[in-house]
Amino acid sequence: MMKVRVCVVTAGHLSTCPRMLKAADALDGAGYDVRVVSTNHTPWAAVTDRKVLAMRGWASTVVDYDRETARVAQFVTGVRFRAAKAFSTAVGTSRVSMPMAIRAYSRIHDELVRAVSAEPADFVYGGTTGALAAVAESAARLRVPYGIDFEDLHSAEDSSDPVANVLAARIEREVIGGAAFATAGSPMIAEAYEHAYNVRPIPVHNTFSIADRPVESKRSDRALRLYWFSQTLGARRGLEEIVRGIGRMGGPAELHLRARAIPSYLDVLLSLQREVAPNLRLVRHDPAAPDDMVRLAQSYDAGFACDEVSVGLNRQICLPNKIFTYLAAGIPVVMSRTPAQARLETCLEGAAFGYDCGDVDGLARVLARLSSDSTLLAQAHCAARAAAERRWHWEHPEDRGALLAAVAGAIR
């Protein structure tokens, strides 16, 4: 019997969208014939993409619009995107036609649609900002059902670009109504979509498979080793607050940062460290493939998931994959109490140490406890491992299982 064909779509790189990567792996493992459509536009991510693909057996189609490897596509998509956005702004984002709104919101909408619909599929599932409308349109061309993933509340994702937020809201309303199902990156994101469109997405957390190596006891005779990672090392990620909190902690510490650094911002952060945290050693690491992130987190004492006071609505209600990476690695989480993270903190039973957003002294007190109390730190590591095993891992029925059940139901 022919396998059911599922196309998974992301407007990002495979290595920067672990959520769609995990979905593809789960569907492949469940016996579906999987093809993934992704993009290439950033050289450093292309390197890790190749590592990811080398470990997979499913098919892949890449929409390339990188400046070096696809100059014509880079130029054409850029001109179309800027023209559509200028026209939409002039006419009015709430009045411009839907095709124009889509192209003002997604630079590579047409290219994604062509790539997805170029081969047969029985179901299309996808997410990320630029792929929302492409998932729906390509499924319509193929005359098959589709599922949409809202990892973020896209209509509140960019606090600096109200035009993009209005366009996103129009596209959200368009695609969610026709979807066989929708998934969301956190319960509070699902609640926001239900409130806005009267459709309740299925919460599927950004969890990961648990590391094989058991938790090891941490020594108390060295600097506290702390960890943070993201795609980009830049402003408005709470790092200045972290540096100030470590400076007030008192004891020696290392802060390991894994991300692509914006040089000007790195200079600012290093200057701040010299000024307020002479007890701190900053160490930068290059980005790594998604398959390696849990393993790379295991050697640290704790990981940060911190936001500034001024973050927008989406950041307040999302649960970043940092948190679940740390738990899968067996290390505790130091987190700012955004509404979503504060709710999660109550479920982690000693694996999370929260502080109020903007409360540098509160952060310093948390870090001082972890630095001075080796028993507390060891207990926190055990609690992180236990939390991951109990609920916060990708194989849990409420995450991977919920996605597979939704796809199976949609295809039936």
Region 366-386: mean pLDDT is 96
56 plus 32 within the same structural domain? yes
Tell whether 215 is covered by a domain. no
Tell whether 365 is covered by a domain. yes
Contact 284, 233 (CB under 8 A): yes
Write out 221-255 in H/E/C secondary structure.
CCCEEEEEEEEEECCCCCHHHHHHHHHHHCCCEEE
The candidate with the shortest Cα–Cα distance to 155, out of 137, 141, 139, 173, is 173
Tell whether 247 is covered by a domain. yes
CA distance 102 to 307: 30
pLDDT in tens, 328-346: 999 999 999 999 999 999 9
Copy the structure tokens of residue 9: 């779509």
The total domain count for the chain is 2
b (16+ CB within 10 A) / e for 371-402: beeeeebeebbbbbbbbbeeebbbebeebbeb
159 plus 16 within the same structural domain? yes
pLDDT of residue 220: 54
pLDDT in tens, 148-172: 999 999 999 877 788 999 999 999 9
99 plus 127 within the same structural domain? yes
The candidate with the shortest Cα–Cα distance to 236, out of 349, 136, 144, 160, is 160
pLDDT of residue 161: 84
194 plus 235 within the same structural domain? no
Q: Quick one: which H or E segment has residue 360?
A: helix 360-372
Residue 41: exposed, middle, or buried by beta-carbon count in 10 A (0-12, 13-18, 19+)? Answer: buried
190 plus 203 within the same structural domain? yes
- Give percent above pLDDT 70 in the chain: 97
Region 109-131: mean pLDDT is 97
Tell whether 219 is covered by a domain. no
Tell whether 275 is covered by a domain. yes
Copy the structure tokens of residue 265: 């911002």
Residue 43: exposed, middle, or buried by beta-carbon count in 10 A (0-12, 13-18, 19+)? Answer: exposed
362 plus 256 within the same structural domain? yes
pLDDT in tens, 203-224: 999 999 998 876 565 555 689 9
124 plus 239 within the same structural domain? no
- Mean pLDDT rounded to a whole number for the chain: 95
- Residue 54 pLDDT class (50, 70, 90 cuts): very high
59 plus 196 within the same structural domain? yes
Residue with tokens 């990320």: 128
246 plus 151 within the same structural domain? no
CA distance 352 to 189: 21
SS3 label, residue 283: strand
pLDDT at position 380 over 80 = yes
Tell whether 333 is covered by a domain. yes
pLDDT in tens, 75-85: 999 999 999 99
Query: pTM of the predicted model, to two decimals?
Result: 0.95
- Give percent above pLDDT 90 in the chain: 90
Q: Which CATH number do you get for residue 320?
A: 3.40.50.2000
- Residue 121 pLDDT class (50, 70, 90 cuts): very high
Region 16-26: mean pLDDT is 96
Region 271-287: mean pLDDT is 96
pLDDT of residue 215: 56
- Residue 317 pLDDT class (50, 70, 90 cuts): very high
Tell whether 24 is covered by a domain. yes
Question: Any idea which of 109-118, 215-224, 274-283 has the lowest mean pLDDT?
Answer: 215-224
The residue segments making up the domain with residue 234 are 224-390
192 plus 273 within the same structural domain? no
338 plus 398 within the same structural domain? no
pLDDT of residue 10: 98
- Residue 372 pLDDT class (50, 70, 90 cuts): very high
Tell whether 245 is covered by a domain. yes
288 plus 402 within the same structural domain? no
- Classify the C-alpha dihedral 240-246-252-258 as positive or negative: negative
